[in-house]
Chains A and B, each alone.
Chain A
């Protein structure tokens, strides 16, 4: 792939700045006292502390998973601080009381939080290190009974909903990172959409890691009651640092009968430099449970992080429920991604669709790992999986690990996979028509990802296309 496919990746990471703000950081290390401290800081009810401690005790008996197709030095879990919050934080009456430095940070990131400047039709919750700095549009949403707030607030204001649903999709015992998150998570977003309500705006959370040597462990819980529907967007960035930072989040979605949840992610955590120094370890557990006739749809565009380990999944518990997973994962430089989904068909006539587009450039390594499981009672279950990989340049890798486990003879499972190389010929063809190399690659890659991008809400789709251009810049010379 010679000269023309090797320079498109190395532009400066635009979100790599650090906000100079005094923070309240817990001492490094993890033990029951730290967990008690976090729970006390959050003024949590007793059931939450008990839940955390139980998760922690479970975590102590677990070991870090090493089956993913990624390589990284051992993580010292005692050398991480598990809680960081900007010091000025007190309960906020309105966004006007938010520290101007924080508002400025989000302005710089292109996420205006002041109500009058808000993006039309998008309500935003902003998470800075461990805490939520402000949620917009709250009152308007409350008028139709929608709760959209930080997780911490939900624990205070709606403990009954939290107690009922927390851990109901991803129990603390699920895996090593989920257990760790359950023990130490500090904040996140909470959404409840009542029966029959269609959420009138896009809900969005913007995650930002700022403080060094901290981990970010947020927890998102979204409940769509019977017949409700909601579309939720998530964006992530972090400063450039030459040490790795751990991000271990848990997202749980509950779509009750005939409800619909659409969850979109544009993940652009700092990826580390060209030699693989620094960057975020993104070890995330995301799962939804779909009840009768419900639909859960995951769309993700993963361009950042040194290591990505995530499998947004759907448990198709109710009859006629639908699960979807649309993914674009880009690795460049020394990035590694092991990502995919699990579709667990339990109910009758459940349907799932998986469309995964992996793009590898530089010396990146990209693996798709997916499980389609049809349980004995899932009469008439159907799955369609399409898994395409694109390689840019000679130094990268792509792998596909599909697992198919069908226990009902009436099920229909289809799997299609392809691997292609952006060819010198494709680029030359575009150049011969007058396009420069960068525009040619951007066009070819965007064409490759089209089926996923068209699942994103409009403004996110535009951002995703731009992001893709930036993260591949320099991969072709």
Chain B
């Protein structure tokens, strides 16, 4: 029995004249996600895409799991392909979904007939097939409201397809369709979630991490790389810039007032990130800040850190989310376990005992003026390491 994967595109179906280029990008991303599994043929018709395995022995469940992380699909499912003939359809439905039907207590049939040349209309298909399945599986009952399994028949251009209810896709629009932006990736819970949310809106990511060896360890850097790896199924491969921030932090600690440490540090991080982002061709910065979560994320503090950025917009997709909500997403995308590994990161080095929660910009600028910022920035950029993480 021939099997393939049906992919229903979501939002991009609404795009006007650009729809074609969105779809091409989506197919490219989908292909890339299946690259490791083997050869697939992709084609599209009527806002549905088809991923057809070209080799034997490809694990379609694995393919399904991978495709469920590709942004741009509203729904996906594994389906069996039958010729457009009712006899064939009903036999295929009974054999293809046999195990599931045996396991279920209640079921319903839904049908979609986009090929209007097919002699039976949708209600007729439902009625006939429902009756036939009841005969074949006498333990089943029909429940149209809350069935254990829904048998879906789609009579389309090329053939008829039989499958179970579709799984939700990742939603959003294809990564790559929204330009690129630089993510400040610390290694905590929030920044990977921010990455996921912006990738969902089609943005290609570049990650920037600030490391302060020996205050931060190799493990902490490894953790960041692991986060990039875990994000890759959703966001595509992520180039990672690791900025050496040690000198900067030591200078700040030496010369600036303690209650402003974190803010000065963050301002400098933003400024450095912008320089790297502009060089990399990014059109925005992304952070995982959420209002009021810590002292450096109060509105007053955000205003001060944002002022350090010259021209790029700073996107903060989790700004209005509670920690619990952020953790929920983090668990869903699989970064939580890595995020909570207990290694010191550059934000926790030299934390002031009482950080200022209502800083004023002028006060910060004055405090910073004792630093030789140009030279420190130059040195930090000089020591920046670039890596491609897959």
User: Is chain B found bound to chain A in the same assembly?
Assistant: no
